[in-house]
Amino acid sequence: MPAVAAPYPARAIRTFHPRRGRMSDRQTTALQQLWPRYGLRVSDATPFDPAALFGRRAPLVVEIGSGMGDTTAEMAAADPDRDYLAVEVHTPGIANLLDLVDRRELGNVRIAEGDAVELMKGLPPDSLDAVHVFFPDPWPKSRHHKRRLIQPTHVALLRSRLAVGGTLHCATDWAEYAEAMRATLDADPGLVNQHDGYAPRPAHRPVTRFERRALRAGRPVADLIYSRR
């Protein structure tokens, strides 16, 4: 992986902020040593060969915007019969997850560096068991709503990559985004809500530092869990 993030075309509307972050010594070492074993670039993910990537065929979960990777590591550790592909653009987060994966010896996790929207376009239709979108950037200003990950065109793309019966699980602490997500997901003809409105907080989604901070600030968290028809 290069020291500098891959350039993204300037005019495309991206769902992420370009941001730099300081890397700890441990993250720097993890990136140098573990990237060849667990990492891939989005641009190298097509054609997608999960058997080559994971060394087996198993139901596949894609986590979009894995952040520091705590949720990915925790869920993958508790779910060894499925494979987890995390996708993130933030280098310190990628490095942190590499470190977690190695320390916890998680053979069922791989980490893609790059734009998740591009990754999803390159995956075969009907191929995923689940897509997780936990605490996507809320882009609160109206003029930035076009950057949101959960919007009709992206949802149609994510849904098309799910196998029939596969799950799209989103969570957010941003009340207005939660309402918008729910309207968008309800409006997609290929998705069906597994609950009556918001889902009860699922025990299998770990509480991260991000969520604790939201709860301390008085922002309740909404989970939305839909399956593909």
Ligand X SMILES: C[S@@+](CC[C@H](N)C(=O)[O-])C[C@H]1O[C@@H](n2cnc3c(N)ncnc32)[C@H](O)[C@@H]1O
Binding site for S-adenosyl-L-methionine: which residues? Answer: 63, 88, 115, 137
50 vs 136, beta carbon nearer ligand X: 136
Tokens 């918001």: give the residue: 198
Min dist. Cβ of residue 229 to ligand X (A): 25
Give whichever of 74 and 83 is closer to ligand X, judged by the CB atom.
Answer: 74
Of residues 80-99, those binding ligand X (CB under 6 A)? 87-90, 93
Binding track over 137-176 against ligand X, x by CB under 6 A: x-----------x---------------------------
Q: Please say whether the beta carbons of 171 and 199 come within 8 A.
A: no
Restricted to residues 16-75, the positions that interact with ligand X (CB under 6 A) are: 16, 65-67, 71
CA distance 195 to 88: 28
Rounded to the nearest whole angstrom, what is the least distance from the CB of residue 124 to ligand X in the complex? 19
Annotated active-site residue 137? The verdict is: yes
Alpha carbon 56 to chain centroid, angstroms = 21
* Residue 135 binds ligand X, judged by CB under 6 A: yes
The catalytic position among 137, 188, 196, 223 is 137
* Sheet of strand 191-193, all strands in order from the earlier edge strand to the far edge: 39-41, 109-113, 83-88, 60-64, 128-134, 162-172, 222-228, 191-193
> CB-wise, 94 or 185, nearer to ligand X?
94
Task: Give CA separation, 60 vs 86, 108, 206, 211, in Å.
Answer: 11, 9, 19, 25
Please say which residue, 132 or 228, places its beta carbon nearer to ligand X: 132
3-state SS of 10-71 is: CCCCCCCCCCCCCCCHHHHHHHHHHHHHHEEEHHHCCCCCHHHHHCCCCCEEEEECCCCCHH
Q: How far is the CB of 20 from ligand X (least distance, A)?
A: 12
In this structure, what DSSP letter does residue 85 have?
Answer: E
Q: Of 22-30, 128-136, 179-187, 221-229, which part binds ligand X (CB under 6 A)?
A: 128-136
Q: What SS3 state is found at 64?
A: strand
So which residues are the catalytic ones? 137
- Residues in contact with ligand X by the rule CB under 6 A: 15-16, 65-67, 71, 87-90, 93, 115-117, 134-137, 149, 208, 210
